[in-house]
């Protein structure tokens, strides 16, 4: 079953929930391979530990994060950007597992974006109370590629709006194994995560792990 989800183009299509033009929620898409993903997450974090980044305005983010792949997203007083080196170690970020790339590419294809090849994977850890304010992903050089976001662990309320910050976002409950893909007309939609509620997950305890795949370079 694991190989099918990552590689078999004849595998049954997941439950699809359209969010907006170019944006799709794939319910349970990564459930069958969650254990394998989390094992690889532990390996990545052993090389590039989670950290709480500081925004250009001096705010410390409540979400702890790390990266893998050729490029990693970083933030400090100098601004938001992608960097080939982990600022904590001065070393390249850990390699992105090939199986993750295959999963992200297949999810993108399910949403209508064939040929997605991510070069950055952000790993975010949410604890109860952690949140992600509404924002646009616009630090990438090319907006033609979609964003692929994988949810693991505790459920979270995903906020998804439009290109106008003033528009009220829709709220979607993301469960363990759900994958959201957005691109095209929705590529620059404002999105975020409401404060994580308390809970206990069988694999992750009181945590939510989110993997976000991007084409940054």
Domain locations in the chain? 2-214
The answer, yes or no, to whether residue 120 has pLDDT greater than 90, is yes
Quote the CATH superfamily of domain 2-214: Alpha-ketoglutarate-dependent dioxygenase AlkB-like (2.60.120.590)
- Tens digit of each residue's pLDDT (9 = 90 or more) over 133-159: 999 999 999 899 999 999 999 999 999
Q: What is the pLDDT of residue 5?
A: 47
pLDDT band at 10; cut points 50, 70, 90: very low
pLDDT at 1 over 50: no
DSSP 34-99: HHHHHHHHHHHHHHS--B--B-TTSPBPSSEEEEESS-EEEEETTEEEEESB-TTTSSBPPPPPHH
> Residue 94: CB partners within 8 Å, gap ≥ 6?
43, 44, 47, 48, 68
Residue 4's pLDDT band, with cuts at 50, 70 and 90, is very low
Whether the pLDDT of residue 3 is over 70: the answer is no
| Residue 147 backbone dihedrals phi, psi, to 5 degrees | -105, 135
DSSP string, 20-43: ETTEEEEETTTGGGHHHHHHHHHH
56-112 tens-digit pLDDT: 999 999 999 999 999 999 999 999 999 999 999 999 999 999 999 999 999 999 999
Mean pLDDT calculated for residue range 170-186:
98
């Amino acid at each position: 079953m694991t190989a099918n989800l990552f590689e078999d183009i004849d595998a049954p299509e997941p439950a699809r929930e359209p969010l907006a033009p170019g944006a799709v929620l794939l319910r349970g898409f990564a459930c069958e391979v969650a254990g394998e993903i989390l094992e690889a997450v532990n390996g990545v974090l052993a090389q590039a530990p989670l950290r709480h980044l500081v925004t250009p305005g001096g705010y410390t983010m409540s979400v702890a994060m790390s990266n893998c792949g050729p490029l990693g997203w970083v933030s400090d007083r100098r601004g938001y950007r992608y960097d080939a080196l982990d600022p904590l170690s001065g070393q390249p970020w850990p390699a992105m597992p090939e199986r993750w790339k295959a999963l992200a590419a297949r999810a993108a294809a399910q949403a209508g974006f064939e040929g997605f090849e991510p070069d950055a994977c952000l790993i975010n850890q949410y604890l109860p109370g952690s949140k992600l304010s509404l924002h646009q992903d616009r630090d990438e050089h090319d907006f033609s590629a979609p964003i692929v976001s994988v949810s693991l662990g505790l459920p979270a309320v995903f906020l998804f709006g439009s290109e106008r910050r003033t528009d009220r976002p829709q709220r979607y409950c993301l469960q363990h194994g759900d994958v959201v893909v957005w691109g095209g007309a929705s590529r620059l939609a404002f999105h975020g995560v409401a404060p994580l509620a308390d809970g206990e997950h069988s694999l992750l305890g009181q945590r939510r792990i989110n993997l976000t795949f991007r084409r940054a370079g």
